[in-house]
Amino acid sequence: MDAQITQDDVIYFIVTDRFFGANKKSVEPSDTSIHGGTLDGIVEKLDYLAELGVTAIWVTPVYENIAKTDSSEPYHYYWPQNFEKMDKRLLDGTHLPKSTAMGTFGKFVALCKRKGMKVVLDMVVNHAGYGAKGKFKPDWFNEAGSGDIKGELSGLPDFNHDNPEVLDYFVNNIEDWIEKGKVTNIRMDTVKHVEPKFWHYFKSQIRGEHPDVCLIGEVLCEGKDDVARLLEYQNYHDFDSIFDFPLCTALRSALIYDESLRYWLARPRLNDNEPLGVLDNDNPFKGGYRNANRLVTLLDNHDLQRRIMSHARTKHPGIGAGLDWAVRVTKLCLGALFTMRGIPQLCYGTEIGLEGWKGADDRDLRRDFPWDAIGNDHHAKPHLYKEHQIYEWTWDLIRLRKGNAALKYGTTITLWSDDLVYAFLRVATDDVALAVINNGYKPMAGPIHLKLNTSVIPQRVADALASLKHWKTAQPLTVQNGEALVTVDAKTIDIFCRNGV
């Protein structure tokens, strides 16, 4: 098994303290103390993750953090005070040594690898924890700065990477984690707040000595017009991948809040003056991403305004029909996530419709995983309608993606785009898949006719469509007179491929 993240992977993000641990407390989401989730607890639940089908685990930072502030403990572990060892609160001794040396994380990586799981470690170079300035040299910090780079993020002491001592320390610290902690994938926190000089040193030294380490950057720019800024990190700072927050915004805006598919996803190409959708920025020859298929795509994470299921419940409140529609649109979002280009990332609990809101702080957004919803077979319990429906759908989608090369590696070709319908092909070397989204609240009155224009689509792809079947029902795709004919139900994605579930 290759250790670095590839397009074969499905990433599962875990706020470690909120997941599981031998001594984990049961408290309200409003509680800002450390709840007791540990790396040992993740090891305990590897069978659950393996059954779900994920192949890579991204964990929050493991550095020794400050004890607490006046109002909160660092349950998320983004407030470091010592970058050279682990926090003892993340270890409970059930599966891992209690030693806080970097090598303990290497043992965690090894246990995950035995279960077929890669590991992504969340790293911080931008800031120290509140009150931790005294642990470092006084001239290591930006003082009275402003803006994204020189200003303090939420009041956290901000490292100055224009200082060569700071640069040298963090580059060598990362190398220690790679060598002693067996880190092969890094999720770099708060990338846009770090001085650009750091990335030059990183790619010169770390890239040179450890070319197989995968670097994924968190650049929290969510708008459709922010793609140009994101390009800097993939194209100029040599990130292997960045999180595709604009696509996250597009899927949420269109599929939950009913905005135009052609505005958010891809233009129909009727004229050159149409506004570009997010997927129109995938062409590197027109100023787009170097490789859009390497982007990490997502619906949820621990920093957004609310969970995807909470967005769905905002749009569709109440019980009965309201809950039915909320589940349906959440499943539609997941269907898009697993069929569109990129490396899909789930946030812990997305697979069972876990909710959460960002209020004055992030505590509710980072609720504990509700293990009482999971049965002995590692699936959501059947009597829990929302959890069971979304879990089984996600379980199926992961298997669908794994079994179809087109969904993992394929080029995207838009066949149809209007306000309510988006149809696209995924085309790989020896595989083809077709996905059609109906974003309306009524089933299509009749089939949509998707022209298979061989001036755009290779003939072998057009020919291959006749052999595709619906991923759930195995009903053959209707192809006649150079057109694919598809009728899709309300707020639904239909997928046609060679290998269904």
Say what percent of the chain tops pLDDT 90: 83
Give the separation between CA 479 and CA 486, rounded to whole angstroms: 9
Pairwise pLDDT comparison (173 vs 233), residue with the higher score: 173
What does the pLDDT read at residue 270?
64
Return the pLDDT at 424. Answer: 96
* pLDDT the model gives residue 306: 94
Q: What is the rounded distance in angstroms from the CA atom of residue 476 to the CA atom of residue 494?
A: 12
State yes or no: pLDDT of 269 exceeds 90.
no
pLDDT at 271: 66
**Cα distances (angstroms) measured from residue 66 to each of 78, 88, 133:** 9, 12, 11
What local confidence, expressed as pLDDT, does residue 71 receive?
87
Separation of first and last alpha carbons in the chain = 24
Whether 324 has a pLDDT exceeding 90, the answer reads yes
Contact of 298 with 345, CB cutoff 8 Å: yes
Res. 188: pLDDT tops 70: yes
The predicted structure's pLDDT at residue 1: 54
| DSSP annotation string for 426-487 | EE-SS-EEEEEEE-SSS--SS-EEEE--TTTS-HHHHHHGGG-EETTT-PBPEEETTEEEE-
Domains defined for the chain, CATH in brackets: 11-409 (3.20.20.80), 411-497 (2.60.40.1180)
pLDDT value, residue 285: 78
Amino acid identity at 193? H
Q: Residue 299's closest CA among 333, 263, 264, 325?
A: 333
Residues 6+ apart with CB under 8 A from 137: 165
| Residue 105, token pair as written in the block | 């994380």
Residue carrying structure tokens 């795509």: 297
Per-residue pLDDT of 347-400, as tens digits, reads: 999 999 999 998 778 888 899 999 999 999 999 999 999 999 999 999 999 999
d(CA 7, CA 410): 10
Per-residue DSSP letters for 230-289? Answer: HHIIIIIS--SEEB-HHHHHHHIIIIIT---HHHHT----SSTTSPPPGGGGG-GGGT--
288: tokens are 């787009």
**What pLDDT does 203 receive?**
87
What value does the mean pLDDT take over residues 467-482? 96
Please state, in angstroms and rounded to a whole number, the distance separating the CA atoms of residues 315 and 334.
17
271-312 per-position pLDDT tens digit? 677 778 999 888 877 778 888 999 999 999 998 989 999 999
Segment 166-174 shows an average pLDDT of 97
Mean model confidence pLDDT for the chain:
94
Rounded to whole angstroms, how far apart are CA atoms 267 and 488? 20
Q: Which of 427, 469, 418, 471 is nearest to 452 (CA)?
A: 427
Burial of 441 (0-12, 13-18, 19+ CB in 10 A): exposed
Torsion sign over Cα 332, 334, 335, 341: positive
